[in-house]
Amino acid sequence: MDWITEESLETLAESVELANDFSEKMTAFRSGLIAKDLRWYQLAAHRAYDQLSSREKEVFMMRLRNHSFPLIAEQIGVSVSSAKTYWRRCIKKCGVLFNSVAYADNK
């Protein structure tokens, strides 16, 4: 397999490790075994995800996988500046929703 380089093998191994780490961390959310006082985070996350545009979701998911902005830009065919703008919009939408849900729950 001379089409596989040492660098691509390292990248693949890192990707698998990141995927496994992410999957392990998400187990609590999939199992539903979340402390009652923390469940609002999960509900807010669902609401936030629903408010993101399809492009924002792409960028959001790639950033969660630790992809750099140049890599994201290349993958989705936009400038690095645009990738960063999508990310800022995601953070703003999530922040507003998480803060409003936390405020409502604590009333």
Do 85 and 42 lie in one domain? The reply is yes
User: Mean pLDDT in the chain?
Assistant: 82
* Same-domain status, 87 and 99: yes
Over its C-alpha atoms, the chain yields an Rg (Å, rounded) of 17
Task: Note down the domain range covering 27.
Answer: 1-32
Count: domains in the chain = 2
pLDDT at res. 41? 76
- Would the pTM of this model clear 0.75, i.e. be above it? no
72 Cβ neighbours under 8 A, 6+ residues apart: 58, 59, 62, 63, 83
Give CA–CA dist 68/70, Å, rounded.
5
Tens-place pLDDT, residues 49-91: 888 999 999 999 999 899 999 999 999 999 999 999 999 999 8
Task: Output 21 or 107, whichever has higher pLDDT.
Answer: 21
